[in-house]
């Protein structure tokens, strides 16, 4: 028997692929109803009355969503489910069962069905389950697409981003990685200076050797001196044995001098002599030892201005500035933002959730906000925002409501500016004047839509009480308020 096929007229919206649905149901009228409903949604739907035909279809075409009557006459519903999970593990399965066999629904969920429908079901119930399954599959596909894009967008080492600014950085980076010159890495806080330092080291000739950061900002000057130059026994009260300094022991390894501008002037002098003579004088030593480490330094301050002000040694600046690598601020390379955000989201999800969860993505508005925001804390700030949102959000989509309040406020302010602009335009064209009630209705509905239907979050973001929101929705003829809810 030929299977029935109904093509959804709508197709995939906004460039989304059309999803393929297979309905396995022996009852012809239920099957036809399912196909009819699916065809009015974004599905290309196919029906099969028995297992044999279902298997035939599954052999020849990829199925995104399977609507399966588990108790089909002749049996085999559960076997088919298990086989589908092996053959097409990403297929979202909706198990249909009779009311009496809830236990088989539970078993179906255990084997991998995402949802179940208990017969008899209302058409709205079917629509809602199909909608959920379709959305889930679209998210899978979308996040896979993003992951693939991410793979292809990976830069050098662990650096992410393919903006022209980053491409330029990679070109210089891959050249300097194969030399042993000092490199001065300049950029605002959180732009990735240390990561660039690590990447120079790990793509260089001595990647197997040690990379050691030394924080010139937070370590005490004596500590920095001990670490970098070492000392001999008896050099000072606590020096009970010789200690070799990093500059002499790393042998091809890299010392990363973080925030070099904070190095005290005296140590600047000692460092410049080491670089000049290629020799290191441990404290209290009577003879020098060879300088064997490579030196990379970073700064978020304007060293030229500090040299002019006499707060940084000119000779050290020239010694370090053999190669100058400037890392652009995040706002100067906006096109890297989505891919960095997506990378952080996948990583946060792996770190925060041990079990395999649904892959997450961002709502369009969140991505738009990310592009509009200035990111004063650069990539570090973006990472913190995304990690928090991943911990807070409960669904597959990270929405505006999952972001920290300052970002939500930033977005809302932007929105009101845009709305004022629209109203100003409307003043020019009286034909477009809208009532305040209409503006309010639009704002409420847009907020709910933006927050994926989460009315409680919408009320919070809009700064109104839950009861007010439910009352307004009722006024618009959209849904009932909760029974006991107070502002
Ligand atoms: N291009 C990038 N790709 C991937 N991750 C990045 C990138 N740039 C920065 N990061 C990440 O951002 C965070 C901050 O980076 P890093 O510590 O290297 O910045 P920094 O400029 O040295 O910061 P600070 O000035 O505060 O010392 C790190 O978690 C780092 O892994």
CA–CA separation, 130 and 158 (whole Å): 40
- Which residue, among 116, 86, 154, 114, has the nearest Cα to 347 in the 3D structure? 154
Radius of gyration of the chain from Cα atoms?
31
CA–centroid distance, 300 to ligand 1, in Å, is 12
- Cα–Cα distances in Å, from 228 out to 116, 317, 362, 473? 65, 18, 45, 67
Please list, in sequence order, all residues whose beta carbon lies within 8 angstroms of the beta carbon of residue 306, skipping any fewer than 6 positions away.
261, 312
CA–centroid distance, 189 to ligand 1, in Å, is 8
CA–centroid distance, 54 to ligand 1, in Å, is 51
CA–centroid distance, 381 to ligand 1, in Å, is 10
Q: What is the position in ligand 1's atom list of the atom closest to the CA of 198?
A: 18
Mutate to test the pocket of ligand 1, among 150, 162, 195, 326 (most ligand atoms within 8 A of CB): 195
CA–CA separation, 108 and 94 (whole Å): 9
- Taken in order of first residue, the domains within the chain and their CATH numbers are 5-151 (3.40.50.2300), 164-328 (3.40.50.300), 359-475 (1.10.8.60)
Structure tokens, 99:
């009311």
Q: Where are the beta strands (DSSP E) in 154-309?
A: 183-186, 211-215, 230-231, 243-244, 254-258, 279-280, 289-290, 294-299
- Cα–Cα distances in Å, from 368 out to 25, 335, 342? 43, 11, 13
CA–centroid distance, 227 to ligand 1, in Å, is 24
Mutate to test the pocket of ligand 1, among 164, 192, 385 (most ligand atoms within 8 A of CB): 192
pLDDT (tens, 9 = 90+) of the chain, 487 residues, equals: 445 655 443 334 455 678 999 999 999 999 999 999 999 987 999 999 998 899 889 888 889 999 999 888 777 888 888 888 888 888 999 998 876 566 666 777 777 788 888 888 888 889 999 998 988 888 777 767 756 655 565 667 789 988 899 989 988 888 888 888 999 999 999 999 999 999 999 988 788 899 999 999 999 999 999 999 999 998 888 888 999 999 998 888 999 999 999 999 999 999 999 999 999 999 999 999 999 999 999 999 999 999 999 999 999 999 999 899 999 999 999 999 999 999 999 888 887 765 455 678 888 889 889 999 999 999 999 999 999 999 888 778 888 889 998 998 888 876 544 444 444 444 444 444 456 666 677 777 777 766 667 777 777 767 777 888 888 877 776 665 443 333 3
Q: What is the position in ligand 1's atom list of the atom closest to the CA of 298?
A: 22
CA–CA separation, 329 and 12 (whole Å): 37
- Cα–Cα distances in Å, from 118 out to 27, 80, 95, 102, 122? 15, 19, 8, 8, 10
| Structural contact between residues 257 and 214, judged by C-beta atoms closer than 8 angstroms | yes
pLDDT at position 143, please? 63
Atom 6 of ligand 1: nearest residue by CA position: 192
- ipTM field: 0.98
Long-range contacts formed by 345-348: CB under 8 A, 24+ apart: 345/386, 345/389, 345/390, 345/398, 346/147, 346/150, 348/386, 348/387, 348/390, 348/391
Q: What is the position in ligand 1's atom list of the atom closest to the CA of 379?
A: 12
Please list, in sequence order, all residues whose beta carbon lies within 8 angstroms of the beta carbon of residue 4, skipping any fewer than 6 positions away.
31, 32, 35, 46, 47
Q: Is 387 exposed, middle or buried (0-12, 13-18, 19+ CB in 10 A)?
A: middle
Q: Could you say which DSSP state residue 283 is in?
A: B
Residue 117: left (phi > 0), alpha (psi -120 to 50), or beta? beta
Q: Which residues line ligand 1 (CB under 6 A)?
A: 159-161, 187, 189-195, 258, 298, 300, 340, 379-380, 383
CA–CA separation, 252 and 459 (whole Å): 59
Atom 16 of ligand 1: nearest residue by CA position: 192
CA–centroid distance, 176 to ligand 1, in Å, is 19
CA–centroid distance, 196 to ligand 1, in Å, is 8
Mutate to test the pocket of ligand 1, among 301, 379, 383 (most ligand atoms within 8 A of CB): 379
pLDDT at position 23, please? 96
Mutate to test the pocket of ligand 1, among 329, 334, 337, 380 (most ligand atoms within 8 A of CB): 380
Please list, in sequence order, all residues whose beta carbon lies within 8 angstroms of the beta carbon of residue 422, skipping any fewer than 6 positions away.
none
CA–centroid distance, 378 to ligand 1, in Å, is 8
Please list, in sequence order, all residues whose beta carbon lies within 8 angstroms of the beta carbon of residue 279, skipping any fewer than 6 positions away.
273, 288, 289, 290, 291
pLDDT at position 253, please? 93
Structure tokens, 345:
């989201």
| Structural contact between residues 483 and 470, judged by C-beta atoms closer than 8 angstroms | no
């Amino acid at each position: 028997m030929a299977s029935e096929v109904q093509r959804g007229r709508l197709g995939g919206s906004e460039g989304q692929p059309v999803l393929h649905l297979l309905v396995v149901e022996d009852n012809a009228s239920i099957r036809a109803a399912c196909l009819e409903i699916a065809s009015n949604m974004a599905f290309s739907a196919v029906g099969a009355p028995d297992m044999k035909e279902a298997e035939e279809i599954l052999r020849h075409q990829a199925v995104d969503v399977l609507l399966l009557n588990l108790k089909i006459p002749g049996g085999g519903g559960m076997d088919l489910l298990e086989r589908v999970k092996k053959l097409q593990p990403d297929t979202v399965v909706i198990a249909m069962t009779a009311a009496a066999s809830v236990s088989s629904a539970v078993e179906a969920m255990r084997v991998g069905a995402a949802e179940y429908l208990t017969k008899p079901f209302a058409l709205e119930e079917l629509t809602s389950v199909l909608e959920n399954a379709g959305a889930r599959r679209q998210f899978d596909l979308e996040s896979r697409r993003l992951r693939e894009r991410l793979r292809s967008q990976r830069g050098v080492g662990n650096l992410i981003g393919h903006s022209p600014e980053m491409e330029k950085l990679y070109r210089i980076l891959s050249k300097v990685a194969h030399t042993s010159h000092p490199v001065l890495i300049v950029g605002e806080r959180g732009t990735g200076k240390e990561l660039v330092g690590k990447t120079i080291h790990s793509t260089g000739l001595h990647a197997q050797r040690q990379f050691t950061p030394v924080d010139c900002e937070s370590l005490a000057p004596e500590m920095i001196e001990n670490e970098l130059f070492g000392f001999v026994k008896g050099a000072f009260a606590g020096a009970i044995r010789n200690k070799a300094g990093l500059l002499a022991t790393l042998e091809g390894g890299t010392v990363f001098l973080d925030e070099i501008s904070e190095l005290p002037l005296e140590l600047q002098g000692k460092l410049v002599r080491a670089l000049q003579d290629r020799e290191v004088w441990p404290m209290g030593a009577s003879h020098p030892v060879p300088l064997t480490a490579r030196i990379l330094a970073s700064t978020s301050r304007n060293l030229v201005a500090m040299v002019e002000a006499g707060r940084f040694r000119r000779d050290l600046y020239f010694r370090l500035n053999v190669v100058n690598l400037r890392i652009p601020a995040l706002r100067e390379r906006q096109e890297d933002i989505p891919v960095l955000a997506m990378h952080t989201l996948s990583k946060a999800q792996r770190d925060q959730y041990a079990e395999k969860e649904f892959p997450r993505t961002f709502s369009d508005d969140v991505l738009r906000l990310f592009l509009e925001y200035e990111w004063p804390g650069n990539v570090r700030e973006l990472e913190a925002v995304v990690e928090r949102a991943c911990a807070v959000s409960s669904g597959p989509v990270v929405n505006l409501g999952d972001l920290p309040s300052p970002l939500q406020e930033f977005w809302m302010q932007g929105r009101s500016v845009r709305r004022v602009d629209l109203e100003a335009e409307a003043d020019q064209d009286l034909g477009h004047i809208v009532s305040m009630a209409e503006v309010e209705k639009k704002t409420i509905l847009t907020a709910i839509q933006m927050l994926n239907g989460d009315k409680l979050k919408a009320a919070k973001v809009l700064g109104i009480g839950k009861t007010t929101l439910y009352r307004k929705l009722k006024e618009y003829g959209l849904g009932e308020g909760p029974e006991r809810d107070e502002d």
